[in-house]
């Protein structure tokens, strides 16, 4: 088997299968469509590692059930893969534990419930240390957007370069 990763590291946390063209390697993409599957097959790929992220599957703590829209997208991708003879490995994905720690994985509501004292505090992690955006002394910058479910995308200490327009507002 030969393959690639398909991981969406922001809302809605799992790609849509609806697109008019394949994703580009040079721009963020929120889809995994027939176009992408055909491109992978032409390149000899027979496998994807699909990132499934808890923050998308259970965006609120009010229920012990998975979000129906997220589950529908998951099933759409799995059906697409089956149609194209592509195997999918489901990777319960997380980077830096979750959104409260500049990554993705556990939802913000879980962090707020179990370790609120860490939210918005300086981190020493791969994103901050590699980009040099903030140091452990930049408490004011680390506090920006604390508690926001999109903290990992909106806080300037978490992101490299310029914030995407959707995260800057």
Contacts of 63 (CB under 8 A, 6+ apart): none
Task: Round to whole Å and give the CA distance between 80 and 45.
Answer: 14
Helical packing angle, 34-42 and 68-83, nearest 10°: 40
The tokens for 142 are 């680390």
pLDDT, tens digit (0-9, with 9 covering 90-100), for 108-167 = 899 999 989 888 888 764 444 445 578 778 889 889 999 998 888 888 888 765 433 333
For residue 79, the SS3 value is helix
pLDDT, tens digit (0-9, with 9 covering 90-100), for 74-116 = 999 999 999 999 999 999 888 777 888 888 888 889 999 998 9
* CA angle in degrees (0–180, nearest 5) for 165-25-148: 35
Each domain of the chain, given as residue ranges in start order, spans: 1-93, 98-159
Residue 104: name the closest of 32, 159, 29, 168 by CA.
159
């Amino acid at each position: 088997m030969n393959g690639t990763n398909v991981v969406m590291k922001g809302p809605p946390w799992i790609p849509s299968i609806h697109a008019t063209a394949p994703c580009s390697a040079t721009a963020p993409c929120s889809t995994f469509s027939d176009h992408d599957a055909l491109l992978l097959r032409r390149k000899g790929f027979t496998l994807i590692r699909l990132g499934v992220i808890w923050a998308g599957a259970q965006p609120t703590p009010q229920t012990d059930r998975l979000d129906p829209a997220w589950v529908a997208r998951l099933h759409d991708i799995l059906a697409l893969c089956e149609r194209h003879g592509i195997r999918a490995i489901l990777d319960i994905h997380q980077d830096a534990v979750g959104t409260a720690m500049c990554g993705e994985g556990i939802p913000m509501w879980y962090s707020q419930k179990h370790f609120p004292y860490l939210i918005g505090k300086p981190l020493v992690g791969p994103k901050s240390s590699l980009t040099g955006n903030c140091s452990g002394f930049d408490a004011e910058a680390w506090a920006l957007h604390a508690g926001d479910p999109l903290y990992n995308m909106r806080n300037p200490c978490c992101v490299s370069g310029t914030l995407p327009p959707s995260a800057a507002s």
